[in-house]
Every structure is written in C-alpha cells, then in structure tokens.
Amino acid sequence: MVQIITLILTIVVFVGVVLVLMWAKGPHYRLTRNNVANLFRLVLDGKATENDWRLFSALPLRHDPFLHNLREQCLEIEEREFTGINRSGFLFTRKGLEEIRALLETLESEAQD
C-alpha cells in the first residue's frame, strides 16, 4: 500500500514539474526595427561594441522577414568588411560603414511607409 502511494505521489510530482516547465518558458529576445536602427547608428558613430554586433548577428529574426533579409545582408558585409574594434573605434572598414549607412537609410525609409 505504501509503495502504491509513493508511486502515485512520484507521478503527480513529475507531472507537476513538467507542467510548470511547459508553462514557464524561458526569456526570448525579439529585436525590433528600432533596435536595429539604433545599432546601425552606434556602428556608424563608432560607439558599438563587438558584443553588440555579435548579438545582432546571432539572433534569429524570423518574426520580421524584412529584418531577416537585412540581417543576412549585414552578415555578408561582416564577412568582407568587419575589422573588430581598432584604434578608430569602428567595427567596419570605410566601405563597410557606407554599406551599413545604406542599410540604415533603407530601414528608415521602410519604417516611414
């Protein structure tokens, strides 16, 4: 009899833990167009950190196809023009900064539509 009660309590606790874990999902970070525009401005001003850029390039942006496409373009620019932090404080070469500026203008014009 004690074994059956122990088994039932174990099952109840296990199911309870599973339900709590399903209900309490972990945090998720969702970048907005405004967040991305602010990041581009920081990059163009030489104030963005390498961590800022890495976080942007690592986060999936499936919730917004426009941002997803923009991120893909940024990854291509990064592959060619990324220098990391240097004496000037900029993460990209001059050409890379020009391309980021063009993407920022595209993003801002998209936001106005």
For residue 46, the one-letter residue type is G
d(CA 38, CA 21): 35
pLDDT digits (tens, 9 = 90+) for 16-60: 998 888 888 766 678 899 999 999 999 999 999 999 999 999 988
d(CA 112, CA 105): 11
d(CA 38, CA 96): 17
Model-level pTM?
0.73
